[in-house]
Amino acid sequence: MTLHHSTAARLAAVLLLLAFGLLASTSVVAGGCPTLLPAHAVAVSHPTLCQSHLMGDNTLYSCQDYRSPQGRFRVLFKGGQVPRAVVHIDAQGSEHLVWTRKTAGELPACSLVPPDALPAEAIHRGTGVCYDDDERAVPCSMFEHAMPRQEDFFRYLVYYFPDRPTEPVIEKFHAGRNENAIVAEFAYQIGLSLLDTHCCSEQAIGYLEYAYRLFPRADLYSSAYKEARFLLSSRAHPTDFALYLD
């Protein structure tokens, strides 16, 4: 298979994978589908193309399989992070519908783990079905990578070709200015400056938490926020803190 390399085709793929208003960041754990799958479910390989008779049509989906102590599960994507359905596959290979977007009240998001070739901090933004130059379907995902203190952020289109099960094809492209980096750094610096004051330590926690929420996987902001909370707690309960030190 060969890929579309035109700007228009890439834009179409991005719009598909970011479908359903999921441009904003989510806090879903990488590789997790916490509200739809058993607690110890583990992803099996990369997404593959599939169809499900339970959905009542012949639509192609990008499907991620999981194994768990409760058996095998399949999550069906068609753009975005919110799946179209989740099915349980029994020992005989029969499918049983667990959850469907059509009848759901809430729309929980799922997140896939980035391939090894991508930065570990890359965030999953969507999974769906893309097409090559011959109009053949291929499962695909998009990941986004934005780091603190860096001006730009990048997106990665990942194509899971069946003849390359362990080496997905990856396209990297510049996605824009990393505005959150500026905001997070300001919040971080203000939080640090207020932390040792008598008047404003509570506000300091708020600023540090804001920076942490913008970049939850950045050790710099994560450590500062957690240490500040611990410090504030020790000031509020000095006796408990002394006992802790003993």
Tell me the domain boundaries of the chain. 1-177, 180-245
Distance CA 109, CA 79 (A): 11
Q: Which pLDDT value is given to residue 25? A: 42
Q: Which pLDDT value is given to residue 30? A: 56
Query: In tens digits, what is the pLDDT along the chain, a chain of 246 residues?
Result: 445 555 555 555 665 665 543 443 444 455 678 889 998 999 998 999 999 888 877 899 999 999 999 999 999 999 999 999 999 999 999 999 999 998 877 889 999 999 999 998 899 999 999 998 888 999 999 999 999 999 999 999 999 998 887 789 999 999 999 999 999 999 999 999 999 888 898 899 999 999 999 998 899 999 999 999 998 887 766 555 444 444
User: Pairing state of beta strands 137-145 and 85-89?
Assistant: unpaired
**Torsion over CA of 167, 8, 76 and 56, rounded to 10 degrees?**
-140
Q: Which pLDDT value is given to residue 95? A: 92
User: Which one, of 125, 101, 99, 100, lies nearest residue 112 by Cα?
Assistant: 125
Distance CA 226, CA 8 (A): 44
Q: Which pLDDT value is given to residue 15? A: 57
**CB distance 54 to 95 below 8 Å:** yes
User: Which one, of 179, 175, 113, lies nearest residue 144 by Cα?
Assistant: 175
Q: Which pLDDT value is given to residue 239? A: 52
**CB distance 82 to 111 below 8 Å:** no
Q: How many of the other CB atoms lie within 10 Å of CB of 160?
A: 23
Distance CA 183, CA 40 (A): 36
Q: What is the pTM of this model?
A: 0.77
